[in-house]
């Protein structure tokens, strides 16, 4: 813990040194201002955090970290032409904005950000820099600390030495990236220098979105944390989900089948489709208990996914009716209470071929739980009475 304490002290010291002038100006002899550098509104948008934010990250191992907003400040730092002049006269000067923001958890995990300019007297006047610091209790002494250059809407690598002991590196920019069960858009994969000789475990990656900030981070061991979403207010006249199929934006469901897992996800926002504002699940438009079905250029239209009416029956073509006559037949078998006293709907469907008439012996049973969605599915071969496939819900998040 001594090294961790040292890192924290050094990090705080760095932030503090950026917020104050190197030396007080001697008023007996005055230098002249050579200019001032401040961030524009579009440049400050690279830190998208309101002052009321709480950031919740969940890991792929099930634990969570709750970062609460600590502070955000803006100050002007003065750079002098001769800051160490023993006679006291420091010469002409520049003033440059420093903008900082931070979050801390109850366990003293912290995230900090710092936007600043380098000393204009050292060259590259007006060049903007972005510092990111991240430490969690599980990272021990080995937090993430990196510096990048930036312009409005753009992060840029800053690797000032070949050994990569300082600076930061933009590994990639992804239009779409899955981190754990969530999908994020326009995400930077950031690499920072690490003291690998002292750190058997260290942060190998930080994932950053200019619209959302840090959306995930990963240890070299493979453990990943991902940002849980904020509540998304439905637009006016939006079609909102119903309780047995609560596909609210930025929700996910993780299923297990044998030793493998699969994920269903909703989109991150409400979308416009066919004159409606609604949600999507795995890329498909959802209108409460219906989804819109297409096969190539053929639009089948809205087909039920579910019904709350026991005995309700409907069909869904599996292709263009003119060329592919396979059809699924759905029936609501029961609306009942399960062993945990939760309200559930039990649905069954099978597939048949219209011409010539041929019914598949495979029956699929599904269970939908109120305010959760699909929680169980199994495929039963009625010719042999064997269960040939089974999946169950093991984790989920409904963003409502």
What are the angstrom distances between the C-alpha of 161 and each of 119, 145, 172?
A: 18, 15, 20
> For residue 87, what pLDDT is reported?
74
Which of 386, 372, 245, 365 has the alpha carbon at shortest distance from 305?
A: 245
The pTM assigned to this predicted structure is 0.84
289 contacts 307 by C-beta, under 8 angstroms: yes
**Which DSSP category does 122 fall into?**
G
Please list the pLDDT of the chain residue by residue as tens digits (400 residues). Answer: 334 433 443 344 444 444 443 334 444 457 899 999 999 999 999 999 987 789 999 999 999 999 999 989 999 999 999 888 777 788 999 999 999 999 999 998 999 999 999 999 988 889 999 999 999 876 666 889 999 999 999 999 999 888 888 899 999 999 999 999 999 999 999 999 866 557 788 888 999 999 999 999 999 889 999 999 988 999 999 999 999 999 999 999 999 999 999 999 999 999 999 999 999 999 999 999 999 988 878 888 999 999 999 999 999 888 766 666 688 999 999 999 999 999 999 999 998 876 665 667 899 999 999 999 999 999 999 888 899 999 999 999 999 9
Domain boundaries, the chain: 2-227, 252-397
CA 311 to chain centre: 41
1 contacts 143 by C-beta, under 8 angstroms: no
* Residue positions counted in the chain: 400
In whole angstroms, what is the distance from residue 249 CA to residue 33 CA? 52
Exposed/middle/buried for residue 56 (C-beta within 10 Å: 0-12, 13-18, 19+): middle
């Amino acid at each position: 813990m001594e090294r961790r304490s040292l890192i924290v002290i050094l990090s705080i010291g760095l932030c503090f040194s950026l917020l104050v002038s190197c030396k007080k100006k001697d008023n007996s002899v005055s230098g002249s201002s050579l200019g001032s550098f401040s961030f524009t509104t579009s440049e400050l948008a690279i830190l998208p955090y309101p002052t009321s934010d709480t950031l919740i990250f969940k890991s792929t191992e099930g634990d969570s970290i709750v970062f609460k907003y600590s502070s955000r400040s803006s100050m002007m730092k003065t750079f002098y032409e001769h800051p160490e002049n023993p006679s006291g006269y420091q010469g002409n000067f520049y003033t440059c904005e420093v903008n900082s923001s931070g979050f801390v958890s109850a366990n003293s995990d912290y995230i900090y950000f710092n936007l600043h300019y380098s000393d204009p007297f050292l060259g590259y006047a007006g060049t903007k820099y972005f510092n990111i610091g991240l430490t969690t209790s599980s990272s021990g002494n080995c937090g993430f600390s990196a510096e990048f250059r930036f312009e409005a809407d753009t992060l840029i690598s800053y690797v000032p030495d070949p050994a990569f002991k300082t600076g930061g590196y933009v590994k990639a920019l992804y239009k779409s990236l899955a981190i754990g069960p969530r999908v994020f858009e326009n995400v930077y994969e950031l690499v920072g220098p690490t003291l690998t000789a002292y750190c058997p475990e260290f942060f190998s990656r930080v994932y950053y979105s200019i619209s959302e900030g840090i959306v995930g981070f990963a240890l070299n061991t493979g453990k990943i944390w991902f940002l849980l979403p904020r509540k998304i207010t439905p637009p006016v006249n939006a079609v909102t989900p119903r309780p047995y199929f609560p596909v609210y934006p930025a929700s996910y469901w993780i299923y297990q089948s044998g030793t493998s897992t699969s994920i269903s996800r909703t989109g991150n926002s409400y979308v416009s489709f066919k004159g409606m504002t609604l949600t999507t699940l795995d890329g498909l438009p959802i209108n409460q208990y219906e989804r819109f079905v297409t096969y190539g250029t053929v639009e089948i239209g809205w087909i039920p996914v579910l019904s709350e009416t026991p005995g309700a029956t409907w069909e869904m073509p599996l292709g263009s009716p003119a060329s592919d006559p396979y059809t699924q037949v759905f029936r609501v078998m029961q609306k009942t209470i399960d062993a945990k006293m939760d309200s559930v709907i039990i649905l069954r469907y099978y597939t048949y071929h219209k011409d010539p008439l041929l019914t598949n012996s495979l029956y699929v049973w599904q269970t939908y739980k109120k305010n959760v969605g699909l929680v169980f599915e199994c495929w039963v071969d009625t010719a042999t009475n064997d269960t040939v496939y089974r999946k169950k819900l093991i984790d989920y998040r409904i963003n409502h």
